[in-house]
Amino acid sequence: MIPTLPPVVARAANSEVRKVTSLRVYWALAAGVGGAAVLAFVLLGLSYAPNEANKKDAFVFADGWAATAVSWALVVIVAGAAVFGALSSGWEYRYRGVAVSALFTPDRNLLLGSKLAVVAAFTLAAVLVTELLGGLALYLLGGRDTAPITMGFFAVLGGVALAATCWSVIGAALGFLLRSPVRAVIAVLAPMVVEPLVWITARAIGFAGFATILPVSATVGAISDGKFGDGDFFAPAPAAIVVLVLWTAGAVAGAWWFLTQRDI
């Protein structure tokens, strides 16, 4: 017997899928971020030259301008996923789409769940396609000989996929909480700018370990495969992943409470 979704769930999910696929801005965001990431992998394959300091599995976060370009491209992927999530739910309130959605999906648990699930699924699919194309470009252009594709490489890509998915859900949750795409985008990007200042302040007052429980620090730890494990600000990758998942769960819980307790 082939399992099927209940009609009400399938209808809600289909509605959310159509909202994503029908807007050009989402396609442009995916094409722009993904294209830049693939280009960075191409440059890495063409020009990366390993040295003794970089002979580690996590070569993506090594020295050299090509490796740095890929590192920043992976960070931009995570930021782009956060923006996508924030816009997907924030625009529901700006254009009053959430009221129409509530008419056809009166169960607010289902309304929230379908939105977050579709956002997470599209983000994960887009990131995996980008990573696949980037990895193929790196392999075909000779990067396999200079920057070996090892388990560390796949650990970095897996961490990026997880982090991007988590941040897309965080962004969508903030859209429900703040009820504005602009405020949600600012809220989801602000920690990426402000949090490093918190790290420096925490170390200055003798509480550098506090930084390890913050979301951006957890993201860096999750996507770097322990490259910065000796630093004061970043937890080891497994612990960082747990922290990031907990931040995601907290954002979802806040959005759920706000959506179910407040008027739309």
Give the single-character DSSP code of 69.
H
Which string of b and e fits 191-211 if b means at least 16 CB within 10 Å? bbeebbebbeebeeeeebebb
At residue 256, the pLDDT reads 94
Q: What does each of the 264 residues of the chain score in pLDDT, given as a tens digit? A: 456 778 888 888 899 999 999 999 999 999 999 999 988 888 877 776 655 444 545 556 655 666 778 888 889 999 999 999 999 999 988 888 888 888 888 888 999 999 999 999 999 999 999 999 988 888 787 655 666 667 878 888 999 999 999 999 999 999 999 999 999 999 999 998 899 899 888 888 888 788 889 999 999 989 887 676 666 788 888 889 999 999 999 999 999 999 988 877
At residue 64, the pLDDT reads 63
Residue at token pair 């050009």: 24
At residue 148, the pLDDT reads 60
At residue 1, the pLDDT reads 43
Q: How many Å apart are CA 104 and CA 12, to the nearest integer? A: 8
CB atoms within 10 A of CB 232: 15
At residue 207, the pLDDT reads 81
Give the single-character DSSP code of 58.
-
Residue at token pair 């309304």: 111
At residue 52, the pLDDT reads 43
At residue 81, the pLDDT reads 96
